[in-house]
Amino acid sequence: MAYGYGFAGTVGQRNDAIGAFVQDDWRVNRHLTVNIGLRWQLFTPIYEVHDRETNFGEYTGQIMLAGLNGNSSALYNQYNGIANFLPRLGLAYSIDDKTVVRAAFSRSSFQEGTGEFNRLATNAPWNTDLVGQWGGVGVNGAIPANQITLDQGFAALGAAGAPCTVANVTSAPASCFAGVRLHATDPNYRPAVSNQWNFSIQRQVGNSFTAQAGYVGQHTDHMAAIYNMGQNFLLPDGAAIPGPYLAGNPTLKNIGTGQQRLNTTTAIQNYQALQLMAQQRLAKGLAFAVNYSWSKCLTDNQGYYGRYGNSAISQTTADVAFQSYVYNVRGLDYGLCDADAANVFSGYLNYDLPVGHGRSFAKNTNKVVNAIIGDWHYDTIFTAHGGFPISMIQFGYDPTGAYFQPRPDCNAPSKATPFKNFVGGGYIWFDPTTMSIPTSGLGTCGISTERGPGLKQIDMSLSKKFRVTERQSVQFRFDAINTFNTPIFGVNGYATDDIPGDFTPQRYTSDLNYQKSTPTGVVNTSQGARNLQFSLKYIF
């Protein structure tokens, strides 16, 4: 948890996004059309309008103030390079009058902002971001004794000594940094670059039906990631030694700061998918589409912050926003994305019921009867997909001393147990007894070892048009969202995905009261209950 004085006044953070592009379509011949484009994109670094920012040398530990001693206002460099140029290429080739092949490649970029309270304006002397370490030793964790309760007063916050000021902050006094969280940014922090490509073939059958099969791929690099610079380095024999970050400034490194966070752009993500689609364009009052995708998404970063601090019901947890071990991120943290859905099936249907004037049946009925049985319309949307991955965490043991979301040991393959009744209410969606708190070394569980509940939902709508005049009508509409009231189960962050620090498989299976108090693997919340609504609309 974190607490502090906060800013005195507002913070004015600014940056610019500047872009220009050219694009042209070239019809080479009656079969081939080429689309060519090039975009130039520049993102300037984020700065504070009054230079109220502080950065730290990753390894030197040098304390740098914006706008002083030759430092820039942003305290990190603007990216200027080949990735500023973003090409696009598209091809469409008609094999015959009813078959077309398409292929495309594009490159795009975007700059992740990391959130206001993880930027350089959060640092001393502009802000005192005191932090209490969850998982620290003792009754009160790592929270100092004079900062536990509000009745001790805010004057107790921070270390004693000369107040932290612009004049003394670079000498790393305790009043600036003892117990205070640090936020550093890599000097080469840069925009993410996404390469996307696809290939598809589409065939028309009859006058209005088409079928399509396609392959979609994406590779993104230089995505934002957050590292814990205070994490110890583990030797081959398991011994822990201080890591290299901030080592050039022993005063700062050893003063007893809070978390030492580093903003980097080292993360990657890969996505591959097979996509199938069948579509019926409107004919005789009927239109529909059915889609299926079989995909896989892999990353070494679950999104900057993931769902950190988000208590809303969701089918994803993404609580693992930080790397378990910053010295081997690609080896230990590369796995399924938190929103990876291997199989997704969806579609829609729109249908003008074939009864009444202008329809197939009772087309010559009188106006009174037509007002009752004519001009009815039906719509439905359906979606089904499997569960999202869940990465397990525990705060019972961390040999690096960081407690930055370490993972448990996986002693057996993951065991799904959906709809197994839980003594405390709900279901045990996967078996937690396959895991345990490590006793030495890093936890052996990888990223995304479990899967949560999936989704099956059908929405329906029935509407009727009452004609007043040739140009005016009243529409009655009845909508049933989640028509069959199918449960949409959610997972609870820091509960479903959390192994308690005192957990053992033996205790869990033998002690019913302990099992009842352990929500690991448990699904007991839901969202999206059936919603019925009626409406009238006057059309003129």
Query: What is the tens place of the pLDDT at every residue in 245-277?
Result: 999 999 999 998 888 999 999 999 999 999 999
The answer to whether the Cα torsion of 126, 128, 134, 138 is positive or negative is positive
Residue 303 confidence (pLDDT): 74
pLDDT tier, 323 (very low <50, low <70, confident <90, very high otherwise): confident
More confident residue, 213 or 402: 213
CB 507 within 8 A of CB 517: no
Write down the pLDDT at residue 493: 78
Reply yes or no on whether the pLDDT at 422 is more than 80: yes
Degrees, nearest 5: CA angle 277-286-528: 65
> Rounded to whole angstroms, how far apart are CA atoms 151 and 130?
17
Residue 302 confidence class, pLDDT cut points 50, 70, 90: confident
Q: Are 118 and 226 in contact (CB under 8 A)?
A: yes
CA dist., res. 321 & res. 301, Å (int) = 7
Average of pLDDT values for 350-354? Answer: 94
Average pLDDT over residues 347-354: 96
Predicted model pTM: 0.89
What average pLDDT does the segment 30-46 reach? 97
pLDDT number for residue 133: 47
Please say if the pLDDT value at position 278 is more than 80.
Answer: yes
Residue 228 has pLDDT above 60, yes or no: yes
Residue that wins the pLDDT comparison between 144 and 333:
333
Q: Using 50, 70 and 90 to split pLDDT, how confident is the model at 182? A: very high
* Mean model confidence pLDDT for the chain: 90
Mean pLDDT is lowest, of 55-59, 141-145, 226-230, for: 141-145
Please say if the pLDDT value at position 347 is more than 70.
yes
What confidence score (pLDDT) does residue 403 get?
83
pLDDT in tens, 71-95: 999 999 999 999 999 999 999 999 9
Q: How confident is the model at residue 315 (pLDDT cuts 50, 70, 90)?
A: confident
| Residues 45-63, mean pLDDT to the nearest whole number | 96
Q: Is the peptide bond before 163 cis (omega within 30 degrees of 0)?
A: no
Mean pLDDT of 503-511: 93
Burial class (CB in 10 A: 0-12, 13-18, 19+), 518: buried
pLDDT of res. 334: 94
- Tell me which of 216-230, 309-323, 408-422 is least confident: 309-323
Instruction: Select from 322, 243, 291 the least CA-distant residue to 59.
Output: 243
